[in-house]
Amino acid sequence: MDLTTNYLGMQLKNPLVPSASPLSRSLEMARIMESAGASALIMYSLFEEAVTAEEEAMVRFLHHQETGFGEADGFLPDHMDFPGELDRYLEQVAALKATLEIPLIASLNGVTTGGWIDHAREIQDAGADALELNVYYIAADIDQPGSQVEQRYLELLKQLKQHISIPINMKLSSAFSSVSNMVKQLEEAGAQGVSLFNRFYQPDIDIHNLRLTPCLHPSTSSEVLLCPCAGSRCSTDAPNCHWAPPVGCTRWMT
Ligand SMILES: Cc1cc2nc3c(=O)[nH]c(=O)nc-3n(C[C@H](O)[C@H](O)[C@H](O)COP(=O)(O)O)c2cc1C
């Protein structure tokens, strides 16, 4: 059976592409996925926030210790001398490219426009075949309409298209009121593909121990219905619906 497909302008031997996850941190695991039939691999995301946080911590550690010996400070290495989050990510892009024969799709989550552009360029230069934008904007301003949020995504995409030439895939959350229209707008703005949908960490707050409880529910097959279900009541009494929401979860019961 011919399962070849075109994805992001790339000819793939089948449509099975493992999505972004820590599995791509290991070359051995990437090799196993390739030999099991993966036709391309999406890497875990590079988070601009993590790059910045590490750089700031390094600056504090090396340059703001206030030891009282200003002259001695000059002998300390520069914080840029140490490989950081970004270097490690770019090295992993290069190592995976050298290891695998299937296309490699890197993944980026930026914060600032400059960060998105700089890191996207560096990822392209490191050899990635395509870039997925793990883009997620938390719309917390009650005065901000949805159209403005959509515009942010479109503007970001248009900016990046001017700076990199590899295909761009937009990874979306399900939180758009008109998903298909959003996808159409992204296509017109130059996206070569979209991934539906991202799954976000939804940590809980343990009020008894005053700490965050990490929480990530693996998907179930019934979530394939997410698109048609969105915005309507998804009753667990419905025939063929085997999905039971986690205790206390009212996410799809609107
Ligand atoms: C442990 C774990 C780590 C993940 N890391 C990333 C990541 O770095 N970047 C990203 O865009 N998505 C990440 N995801 C989301 C997955 O790529 C995928 O989009 C999501 O799990 C939805 O697919 P599912 O419905 O089959 O679970 C991660 C998911 C899991 C479970």
- CATH number of the domain that residue 168 is part of: 3.20.20.70
Residue 241 has pLDDT above 80, yes or no: no
Percent of the chain residues topping a pLDDT of 90: 59
pTM: 0.82
Q: Which pLDDT score is estimated for 238?
A: 38
Whether 59 and 166 map to the same domain: the answer is yes
| pLDDT at residue 248, as a whole number | 44
Task: Please check the confidence at residue 178 and state whether its pLDDT lies above 80.
Answer: yes
Query: Is the minimum distance from the CB of 249 to ligand 1 under 6 angstroms?
Result: no
- Indicate whether residue 45 lines ligand 1 (CB < 6 A): yes
Which DSSP category does 214 fall into? -
Total number of domains constituting the chain:
2
Same domain? 138 vs 234: no
pLDDT at position 66 is 60
Q: Which residues contact 163 (CB under 8 A, 6 or more apart)?
A: 117, 120, 121
Q: What is the pLDDT of residue 138?
A: 85
107 lines ligand 1 (CB under 6 A): yes
pLDDT value of residue 216: 73
Tell whether 17 is covered by a domain. Answer: yes
- The reply to whether 64 and 106 lie within a common domain is yes
- Give the per-residue pLDDT at 69: 65
Which residues are CB-neighbours of 185 under 8 A, at least 6 positions away?
150, 154
* 134 and 232 together in one domain: no
Query: pLDDT digit string (tens) for 80-91?
Result: 667 789 999 999
Provide the pLDDT confidence category of residue 217 given band limits of 50, 70 and 90. Answer: confident
Quote the domain boundaries for residue 127. 5-200
| Residues 237 and 140 both lie in one domain | no
Q: Give ∠ CA 72-78-81 in degrees, rounded to 5.
A: 140
Residue pair 40/16 in contact (Cβ under 8 Å)? The answer is: no
3-class secondary structure per residue, 12-71: ECCCCCCCCCHHHHCHHHHHHHHHCCCCCEEEEEEEHHHHHHHHHHHHHHHHCCCCCCHH
3-state secondary structure of 6: strand
- Please, what is the average pLDDT of the chain? 84
**How much distance in Å is there from the Cα of 30 to the middle of ligand 1?**
16
Does one domain contain both 86 and 117? Answer: yes
Q: Is residue 120 part of a domain?
A: yes
pLDDT interval class at 53 (50, 70, 90): confident
Q: Identify whether 206 is part of a domain.
A: no
What digits encode the pLDDT tens for the residues 194-208?
998 888 777 888 999
Q: Is the pLDDT of residue 230 over 60?
A: no
Report the pLDDT value the prediction gives residue 65, as an integer from 0 to 100. 61
222 belongs to a structural domain: yes
DSSP class of residue 105 equals E
Q: Which residues contact 200 (CB under 8 A, 6 or more apart)?
A: 136, 173
Both 144 and 68 in a single domain? yes
Residue 107 lies in a domain: yes
Residues 72 and 168 in one domain: yes
- Alpha carbon separation from 129 to 34, 116, 183, 246, 254 (Å, rounded): 16, 17, 22, 38, 40
Res. 15: pLDDT tops 80:
yes
Give the pLDDT band (50/70/90) at residue 251: very low
Report yes or no on 208 lying in a domain: no
- Is the minimum distance from the CB of 185 to ligand 1 under 6 angstroms? no
Q: What is the DSSP letter of 130?
A: E
Instruction: Report which protein residue has its CA nearest ligand 1's atom 11.
Output: 134
The per-residue pLDDT for 57 is: 80
> Is the same domain home to 112 and 153?
yes
Return the higher-pLDDT residue of 75 and 153. 153
Digit-coded pLDDT (tens) for 102-122: 999 999 999 898 999 999 999
pLDDT score for 214: 78
| Same-domain check for residues 194 and 104 | yes
Is 185 part of a structural domain of the chain?
yes
The residue that leads in pLDDT, 38 or 136, is 38
Between residues 110 and 68, the one the model is more confident about: 110
Which H or E run includes 104? strand 104-109
Kindly report the protein residue whose alpha carbon is nearest to atom 27 of ligand 1.
219
Residue 114 lies in a domain: yes
Q: 167 alpha carbon to ligand 1 midpoint, in Å?
A: 20
Same domain? 75 vs 144? yes
Q: Could you tell me if 193 and 225 lie in one domain? A: no
